[in-house]
Chain A
C-alpha cells in the first residue's frame, strides 16, 4: 500500500521531470536541422568535386591527351626510311676510325 502511495506521489514529479527533459532535448535538437542542412550541402559539394576530379583524371589519362602530349614532346611514329644527317666535317665512327 505504501509503495502505491509513493508511486502516486512521485508520478507528477516524474511527469514534470520528463517534460523538462523533453524540453531540453528539443531545445538541443532545435538548431541541429541547420547543421544537417549544411552537412548535406557539404556532402553534395564534395561529391560534385569528386566527380569533377574523376573527370579530370579520365581526361588527363585519355589516349587523346597522351597522343597530343607525345606529339608535343616530339614522339612520332617511325617512318619507313630513316636517315642520319651528320655535319660536313664529321664522319661516322667506323669511317673516322679508318682515316
Chain B
C-alpha cells in the first residue's frame, strides 16, 4: 500500500513542478517570450509620416521636410568598437570616447548615436558599411528662405519621447495638423528576412501631415525684414517690430521682429528670442492710441473734426497736471489739429466728454484687454483693470495711450477696423489647409464686430491723413499717396516710474487711405538717434510703404 502512496506522491510532485514551470513560462515571462518568438518570425516596421509643408500666399514652400536619418548602433554586432567609434566621431564631429562608451556596452541591443543626420554626412557613413551601424529614416525641417519669418513660423524640436514636436508660432499652434500619422507594417518573415506574402500581413500606411497656406507674402516679408534691420541700425534701436495686415480679411501679410533667431539652429540662440514680440510683448502705445479715443467721440456724436477746444495750457486732473508732449499750446484748435499736434490736453477733453463707462466700452470693443485669437501659439495680452479700478487720472492718461498695455497685433487689428469701415477682424496667419489627398480646406476671414460705423471710419481716416500730411514726418511721405497714420512715443516704465530716456517709438497707419491695401505698425524700442516716433518709426513706416506701393503696383495719384 505504501508503494502506491509513494507513486501517488511522486506523481503529484511532478504535476506540481510542471504547473509551477508552466505558470512561470505562460504568466510571468509570457509576454517576453511572445515578443522574442514574434521577433523570430515577424517584421514590424514603422512608416514615419512626413510633416506637412508651410507655403506662402503664392503656394511656394517656406518650410518643408527633407530626408534625414537616425544613426544607431547594435553593440552585439560590432566587432571593433574602437575603429567604429573613431570613424563615426570623425564624420559626425562627436566625442569619440562617448561613442566608444556607448558601443562597448554589449548588454544593450540598440543605441541611438546621432539624430537628423542628412545629406553628405549620411552618405559618408553609409559608404563605410560599418557592421552593427544602422539607419532609421526620419525627417528634418528645411527653410529655403533661411531665417525669414522665424518668429511667425516657430521651429520643430523633440518631445519627452524624442518625437518631433512643433514649438512656437505656426509649428506650435498647428502641430497636430502638420505632424500627420505614422504608419506601421507587420508581416511574417522568411529565413532571409524577406516578408512572406501568404503569411499574416498588416499594413497601415503613414498619413502625411496637412500643408498650410499662409496669408504671408514672402516678398512683403523680405521687404519689412530688410527695412527693419536697416531702421534699427540707422536709429540705434535695441529692438523693433513690424506687422503688416490686410485690413479687409485680417490676413497677416508680414510679421517681423529683430533681433531674431535661426530655426535650424535654435538651440544656439537665447531662449528669450523664441517668443514672438508682435503677439507676446505688451507695450504702452502712447499717442497712436489717440485715434481710437477720437473715433469713439465721433461715433458717439460728441465731437466732429471741426469741434474747437481751447488748448490754453496744461490741464489739471485732481492733483495731477497733464501737459502736451512738447509743452507747447496752440490756443483754439480743432479736433483734426488735436490729432495733428498730438495734443494730450485735447484728448483729456474727449475722454471727459465720453465718460468712463463709454470710453472703457469702446476700448474693449476695439479688442484691447483680450487676445486677438490669432492662430499663433504664444499670444498673450494684458488684462484691463476692472471698471471700478479706473480713477479719473487713469482715464485721462489712457486717452493718450499711457497706463494701458497692448500688443503690436492688437494695435494693428484695431487700426485695421478703422481701415475696414469699422469692422474688427480676427487676425489670421493660415489661409487654407491642404490634406494628404490634396483636398483644400479654406479658413474664411472672420468679422468680430463693427466698432464704429463706416461714416466715422471715413472721418477718422481723413483726420489721420491730415496728421501725416501736415505732421512732423511729412518730409518722409511718398509723394502722390494718401497715407493715414499716427505717430506715438511712449516712455518705458522701469521700477514703478517712467524712464526719461528710454522710449518706444511707433507709427501705425494704413494706405492707400481711400482703399486700404495694408495696415501696418512699426515699433522701435529705445531708439538712440531720437526718442520721437516722428523721427524714427514714422520714416521707417513710410519707407516700407513706398516699397509696398511699388510691389503692389499702386500708382501715385
Asked if B486 is at the interface (CB within 8 A of a chain A CB), the reply is no
The answer to whether A63 and B222 touch across the interface, beta carbons within 8 angstroms, is yes
A11 at the interface (CB under 8 A from B): no
In the complex, chain B residues whose CB is within 8 Å of the CB of A36: 194-195, 197
How far, in Å, is A25 (CB) from chain B's closest CB? 8
CB distance from A53 to the nearest CB of B (A): 11
Q: Assess the A26–B219 pair: CB atoms within 8 A.
A: no
Q: Which of B137-145, B329-337, B390-398, B439-447 contacts its partner?
A: B137-145
Among listed A2-10, A12-20, A54-62, A83-91, interface-contacting one: A54-62
Chain A binding site: helix, strand, loop or mixed by DSSP? helix
User: Is A51 within 8 A of B189, CB to CB?
Assistant: no
Contact across chains for A64 and B66 when beta carbons are under 8 A apart:
no
A residues contacting the other copy or chain, number (CB 8 A): 23
Shortest distance from the beta carbon of A24 to any chain B beta carbon, whole Å = 12
Counting chain A CB atoms within 10 Å of each CB, the highest count among B50, B64, B139, B219 belongs to B64
**A residues near B61, Cβ cutoff 8 Å:** 54, 58
B142/A26 in contact, CB under 8 A: no
**In the complex, A37→B195 CA distance in Å?**
7
List residues of chain B with CB within 8 A of the CB of A61.
Answer: 60, 144
| Cβ-based interface call for B290 (8 A) | no
Q: For residue A71, give the distance in angstroms from its CB to the closest CB of chain B.
A: 13
Asked whether, in the complex, the Cβ of B66 is within 8 Å of the Cβ of A62, the reply is: no
Expressed in whole angstroms, the Cα–Cα distance for A30 and B66 within the complex equals 36
Task: Name B192's contact: one of A34, A52, A58 (CB within 8 Å).
Answer: A34
Q: Is B190 part of the contact surface with A, judged by Cβ < 8 Å?
A: yes
Contacting residues of chain B (173-213) with chain A, CB-CB under 8 angstroms:
189-190, 192-198
What residues of chain B lie closer than 8 Å to A26, measured between beta carbons? Answer: 198
Do residues B194 and A51 form an inter-chain contact, with CB atoms below 8 A?
Answer: no
Nearest-Cβ distance from residue A41 to partner chain B, whole angstroms: 11
Q: Which one of A25, A54, A59, A63 contacts B218 once the chains associate, using CB atoms below 8 Å?
A: A63
Residue total for B at the interface (Cβ-Cβ under 8 A): 26
- Min CB gap A48→B, angstroms: 5
- In the complex formed, the residue of B with least CB distance to A38 is B194
Give complex CA distance A19, B286 in Å: 90
Which partner residue on chain A sits nearest B69 by CB separation?
A48
- Compute the total of residue contacts between A and B using a CB distance below 8 Å: 60
Closest-by-CB residue of B relative to A57 is B61
Interface string of B123-138 (1 = CB under 8 A from A): 0000000000000010
What separation, in Å, do the CA atoms of A25 and B331 have in the docked complex? 104
| Residue A23 interfacial (CB < 8 Å) | no
| B222 neighbours in A (Cβ, 8 Å) | 63, 67
Q: Is B145 within 8 A of A62, CB to CB?
A: yes
Inter-subunit contact A64/B197 (CB<8 Å): no
* Closest-CB distance, B259 to chain A (whole angstroms): 19
A34 to chain B, nearest CB (A): 5
Chain A residues with CB under 8 Å of B104's CB are none
Residues of B within 8 A of A51 (CB): 50, 65-67, 139
CB <8 Å contact, A33 and B196: yes
Distance of B539 from chain A, by nearest CB (Å):
14
Query: With an 8 A cutoff between CB atoms, is A21 at the interface?
Result: no
Q: How far is the CA of A87 from the CA of B194 in the complex (A)?
A: 78
Contact of B60 among A25, A29, A33, A58 (CB under 8 A): A58
Query: What separation, in Å, do the CA atoms of A84 and B144 have in the docked complex?
Result: 38
Report if B76 contacts A (CB, 8 A). Answer: no
Min CB gap B55→A, angstroms = 10
Complex CA gap A81/B192 in Å reads: 76
Contact at B195–A64, with CB atoms within 8 Å? no
Q: Complex: how many Å from CA A61 to CA B55? A: 13
Is B146 close to A, CB under 8 A? Answer: yes
Tell me the bound Cα distance from A77 to B142 in angstroms.
29
Residues of B within 8 A of A48 (CB): 67, 137
* Residue pair A55, B197 in contact (C-beta under 8 Å): no
Q: Point out the residues of chain A lying under 8 angstroms from B60, CB to CB.
A: 58, 61-62
Interface string of B217-258 (1 = CB under 8 A from A): 011001000000000000000000000000000000000000
Pairwise interchain contact A64-B198, C-beta atoms closer than 8 A: no
Query: Which chain A residue has the least Cβ–Cβ distance from B221?
Result: A63
Residue in B66, B148, B189 with the greatest tally of chain A CB atoms within 10 Å: B66
Q: How far is the CB of A72 from chain B (nearest CB, A)?
A: 18
Tell me which of A48, A51, A52 has the highest count of chain B C-beta atoms within 10 A of its own C-beta.
A51
Nearest Cβ in chain B — how far from A55, in angstroms? 5
User: In the complex the two chains form, is A63's CB within 8 Å of B194's CB?
Assistant: no
Name B194's contact: one of A33, A54, A67 (CB within 8 Å): A33
5 shortest interchain CB distances as A-B pairs: A33-B194, A62-B144, A58-B144, A58-B61, A34-B194
A sample of 15 inter-chain contacts (CB < 8 A) reads: A33-B190, A34-B192, A34-B194, A37-B193, A37-B194, A37-B195, A48-B137, A51-B139, A55-B64, A55-B144, A58-B142, A62-B60, A64-B144, A64-B145, A64-B146
Give the interface of B toward A (CB within 8 A).
50, 60-61, 64-67, 137, 139, 142, 144-146, 148, 189-190, 192-198, 218-219, 222
